[in-house]
A and B are shown apart, each in its own frame.
Chain A
Amino acid sequence: MSKVLSGLASLAIFVTVPALAEEAAHRQLGPHVHGQGTLDIAIDGKKIEMELVSPGMDIVGFEHVASTDDQKAAVEKAKAKLADVLTVFKLPAAAKCKAEAANVENRKETHKPGEKDDDDDDKPGAPQHSEFHATYTISCEAPENVTGLETVYFTNFAGAQLLNVNITSPKGQTQAQMTRDKPTVDLTGVM
């Protein structure tokens, strides 16, 4: 009997330990504001790296997993639009920039890329937040001519109202905002 008990006890330990470990890992969620996205721009020499994070609401108008064909098509169309970086974020022609890489993902914000997704809130229609993450690598032949950036982001995506732009370059760091009324950002001081 005692053997059975201790066996049960060890089983219980075996079962609870991973659960405890999971409890111990702290949970955190990033902010999520509809209408507001973030555009990070890092400039170093001839390279420009940009990262865009936008709520799904801004881009496609819903944040659940696309279930109907229409929704799936909307997500794919948005991804294609976002992938064409130099059309969405126009740099001055004199800078002779070309896109080297673009990667667009539609992520659930509770999960980091590559992380195992084992909860059941991604059933079609289940309430959740999702975000579009786009990363871009751009190289410019004449980076000194990158004096500003103009975007059609707001005309392309009806739900978007504001982009917080964080900029870092060897000249320093700065912050700006692009809005529906002012879809430009001045980069004269940072190049």
Chain B
Amino acid sequence: MMIFRLAFQSLLNRWVTACLTVLAIAVSVMLLLGVEKVRTGARQSFADTISGTDLIVGARSGSLNLLLYSVFRIGNATNNVTWKSYQDIAKMPEVSWIVPLSLGDSHHGFRVLGTNADYFTHYKFRHGQSMTFASGGPFTDLFDAVIGSDVADALGYKVGDKIVVAHGVGSISFVEHGDKPFRVSGILAKTGTPIDRTVHVSLEAIEAIHIDWQNGAPVPGESISADQVRKMDLTPRAITAAMVGLNSKLATFKVQRRINDYPEEPLSAIMPGVALQELWGLIGTAETALSVVSAMVVATALLGMVTMILTTLNERRREMAILRSVGATPATVLGLLAAEGGLLTLAGVVAGTLGLYAGLALLRPYIDHTYGLSLAIDPPRADEWLKLGLIVAAGFVAGLLPAIRAYRLSLADGMMVRV
């Protein structure tokens, strides 16, 4: 205990450098734990992109491809699903609800999704949380659109604004559905999911804006006005994908197999939760990279500490000499310096951990709102405690390096005053 007190007093004497060293270790510990928090938060937010949907049905393709275009609006469908097949699936006795998704148009680079009003009640994220409207409400008219919060923020839209949907998915489009503008009927609250970047319109509206088009382009002289189109049959011929909810989870695999074996059309049914996990498995390598980087930062901080103790060793020859002269053995000097390293690291680890939780508590709402990343404030897990313990132990060991040097020197050095 005596050694620790001596070490503490000695550090107090050099408090500026000691504080800086503690700060360096604290920051590195914050980074190490923070990366871990962000990693688990990102994984959770990612897995929570869609919940409550049992199956996603699309044209025959890989599960990742189907997940990417139907949920993340990345890439395109390999094929469409015919309306007949959609109805066949809807009629299956195990199916509780089915929501059609129709992609292919865009608005200033944001994807336009054709769907129906059920989408807003059945699409769930973050453990069954439903979408809410920040303002306005779901579509009531054929040419109504509901926009995600990022769309509203980026383009400065409010309820009642008129928008024109462009054909295709590029951010600059040469072909627009200018004759049939949409009215923003509602703006959704931020979800932290791809919904935020989507313009939602009704399935019938998608059909309506393409009704006088042929082969992906308007036919000259054959334009049908928005009023005329309202009287026409707007049943879609095809959709891009569909979200399916089942009466019982027990039927999931049975229905999935039946859709995959559906004889009339090659379809794929995927379990979104499983596909999300597969996708995370692919992009999850970045997690390891993050952990490696933060481990290196901790190593650098410890190295800095060793350097600090070593460089001060020279100016502390007197200190050592006095200790020796009052009867301290070289072993005591060794212990003193090792204790110094350990104390510094311990202080750094404690400060870093406290700093992280303070930072989390402060920034959590902001991070959630801006990045849609929900970070959990929970006590360190067993493996994190282990990491922290290892860092303190490493601090002691690192402290041994200057300690051994001091041990050697203190045998004779400093006892005599050189002029």
**Binary per-residue interface labels of chain B (238-255) against chain A in the complex, 1 for a CB within 8 Å, 0 otherwise:** 000000000011111100
Is B271 an interface residue when CB atoms closer than 8 A count as contact?
A: yes
Is A168 an interface residue when CB atoms closer than 8 A count as contact?
A: yes
Is B153 an interface residue when CB atoms closer than 8 A count as contact?
A: no
Find A112's partner among B249, B261, B274 (CB 8 Å cutoff). B261
State whether A170 touches B249 (Cβ < 8 A). Answer: yes
Is A44 an interface residue when CB atoms closer than 8 A count as contact?
A: yes
Is B273 an interface residue when CB atoms closer than 8 A count as contact?
A: yes
State whether A42 touches B273 (Cβ < 8 A). Answer: no
State whether A174 touches B273 (Cβ < 8 A). Answer: yes
Closest Cβ–Cβ distance, residue B281 to chain A (whole Å): 9
Is B272 an interface residue when CB atoms closer than 8 A count as contact?
A: yes
Is A20 an interface residue when CB atoms closer than 8 A count as contact?
A: no
Q: Pick the most buried of B249, B253, B273, B277: most chain A CB atoms within 10 A of its CB.
A: B249
Find B249's partner among A26, A28, A44, A51 (CB 8 Å cutoff). A44
State whether B263 touches A173 (Cβ < 8 A). Answer: no
State whether A26 touches B274 (Cβ < 8 A). Answer: no
Cα(A126)–Cα(B155), bound, Å: 65
Q: Is the interface of B mostly helix, strand, loop or mixed?
A: helix
What are the residues of chain A within 8 A of B248 when measuring CB–CB?
44
What are the residues of chain A within 8 A of B61 when measuring CB–CB?
none
Chain A interface extent, by class: 10 to 19
Q: How many residues of B are counted as interface, with CB atoms below 8 angstroms from the partner's CB atoms?
A: 18
Is A184 an interface residue when CB atoms closer than 8 A count as contact?
A: no
State whether A175 touches B252 (Cβ < 8 A). Answer: no
Give chain B interface residues in 250-308, CB to chain A under 8 Å.
250-253, 261, 263, 266, 271-274, 277-278
Q: Pick the most buried of A43, A170, A172, A173: most chain B CB atoms within 10 A of its CB.
A: A173
Known: A44-B248, A174-B277. A166 touches B253 (CB 8 A): yes
Known: A173-B274, A174-B277. A44 touches B250 (CB 8 A): yes
State whether A173 touches B253 (Cβ < 8 A). Answer: no
**Binary per-residue interface labels of chain A (8-42) against chain B in the complex, 1 for a CB within 8 Å, 0 otherwise:** 00000000000000000110100000000000101
State whether B263 touches A25 (Cβ < 8 A). Answer: yes
State whether A40 touches B253 (Cβ < 8 A). Answer: yes
Give chain A interface residues in 32-75, CB to chain B under 8 Å.
40, 42-44, 47, 49, 51
What are the residues of chain A within 8 A of B263 when measuring CB–CB?
25-26
Closest Cβ–Cβ distance, residue A33 to chain B (whole Å): 15
Is A145 an interface residue when CB atoms closer than 8 A count as contact?
A: no
Query: In this complex, what residue of A is CB-closest to B52?
Result: A172
Query: In this complex, what residue of A is CB-closest to B47?
Result: A172
Give chain A interface residues in 168-184, CB to chain B under 8 Å.
168-170, 172-175
State whether B266 touches A42 (Cβ < 8 A). Answer: no
State whether A166 touches B250 (Cβ < 8 A). Answer: no
State whether A51 touches B253 (Cβ < 8 A). Answer: yes
What are the residues of chain B within 8 A of A166 when measuring CB–CB?
253, 271, 274
Cα(A75)–Cα(B88), bound, Å: 38
Query: In this complex, what residue of B is CB-closest to A176?
Result: B277
| 4 extra A-B contacts, CB within 8 A, seeds A172-B273, A174-B273 | A42-B249, A166-B253, A168-B54, A174-B274
Residues of A in contact with B (beta carbons under 8 Å apart): 25-26, 28, 40, 42-44, 47, 49, 51, 112, 166, 168-170, 172-175
10 closest Cβ pairs, A-B complex: A173-B273, A44-B249, A40-B253, A175-B274, A168-B252, A175-B277, A42-B250, A173-B271, A49-B250, A44-B250
Instruction: Name 24 A/B residue pairs within 8 A (Cβ), A-sorted.
Output: A26-B263, A28-B266, A40-B252, A42-B249, A42-B251, A42-B252, A43-B250, A44-B248, A44-B249, A49-B250, A49-B253, A51-B253, A166-B253, A168-B249, A168-B253, A172-B47, A173-B252, A173-B272, A173-B273, A173-B274, A174-B273, A174-B277, A175-B274, A175-B278
